[in-house]
Amino acid sequence: MPRTRLLIAAVFLFAGGLLAGCGGGGSPSSSASPGVTDTLSVDSKADSVALRLLKAHGADAFASAPYLRFNFGVDTPQGQQVVARHLWDRSTGEYRVEWATGPDSNYVALINVRNVENQRPEGTVYLNGTELTGSAAQSAREQAYGRFINDTYWLLAPLKVYDPGVNRQYAADSSTAEHEGLRLTFGEVGLTPGDTYWLYVSNETGRLDRWSMHLQGMDADEAPRSYTWTDYVTLEAPAGDVTLATRHEAMGGEQAILTNQLALPTSPPAGAFSTTTPMLSASE
């Protein structure tokens, strides 16, 4: 799907010190390691809200998870559609993403999300089992990397509020008896640093209840788009529980973004980062 429809998110770099093993360096933390949230500086009301969000969603536990498996999709009145299937080795950066552009066009990208230059990752992409070359390969690698950026942000945004380049501001005008408001803008990071997000953090649970976004590709006077974060599930990681939403319901619309088939496996399926034909649907 075009990025404008799937709302490519701004931030994609995971902090090496915040979520070890998610991004540029390090391995997932063991259960004996100090909690990553214990090392964060809290210098403002916005930082306090962000820290509570991290803890409510299990940032310390997620730092210990070696693999992440999930699907990204949409739910419309016409039914549900899987857009892409993901598997991430968070220790090495190896990443598998599968998607289709038609019944006879199945893509498998085997890239490394740490080895990236100018938004271009290292790796190979296969179409119906045949390796792409030249400009077709480059375009497909960029598409795969865009899927990684967009799809993981819809899933993991509550765990990324302390990432490098994220500017946090307490949104007093968005705060209520039920929610604390957090406004996020970005430095020179990601594909769309001109985006702005408003996060509504539950005073009761500390979790993200909904977000609104004004993306840099939208008209300046266009109203932000809002989604509620629902259907939370709790997953077990070596260092504890991780809580993530599997459904993001458009407010005032009929579409929902799905981040489901969630798992934090302790090991990948055989051939996960070498098999050149789709295999992840077999685990559903």
Q: Where are the domains of the chain?
A: 9-283
Two structure tokens written together for 265:
């496996």
Architecture of domain 9-283: Clam (2.50)
Q: What is the predicted pLDDT for the residue at 36?
A: 84
Q: What is the predicted pLDDT for the residue at 209?
A: 98
Two structure tokens written together for 209:
């209840």
- CA–CA dist 46, 48 (Å, integer): 5
Q: What is the pLDDT along the chain (284 residues), one digit of tens a residue?
A: 333 333 333 222 222 222 222 333 345 654 445 688 999 999 999 999 999 999 999 999 999 999 999 999 999 999 999 999 999 999 999 999 999 998 889 999 999 999 998 878 999 999 999 999 999 999 999 999 999 999 999 999 999 999 999 999 999 999 999 999 999 999 877 667 789 999 999 999 999 999 999 998 889 999 999 999 999 999 999 999 999 999 999 998 889 999 999 999 999 999 999 999 999 998 78
Q: What is the predicted pLDDT for the residue at 188?
A: 72
Q: What is the predicted pLDDT for the residue at 194?
A: 82
Dihedral, 201, 202, 207, 208 alpha carbons, nearest 10:
-40
With contact defined as beta carbons under 8 Å apart, do 83 and 1 qualify? yes
Spell out the long-range contacts of 244-247 with Cβ–Cβ below 8 A and sequence spacing 24 or more.
244/57, 244/155, 244/156, 244/158, 245/155, 245/208, 247/75
93, with CB counted inside 10 A (0-12, 13-18, 19+), is: buried
Q: What is the predicted pLDDT for the residue at 121?
A: 94
With contact defined as beta carbons under 8 Å apart, do 155 and 19 qualify? no
- Helix then strand then coil, in percent of the chain rounded to 5, is 20, 40, 40
Q: What is the predicted pLDDT for the residue at 187?
A: 83
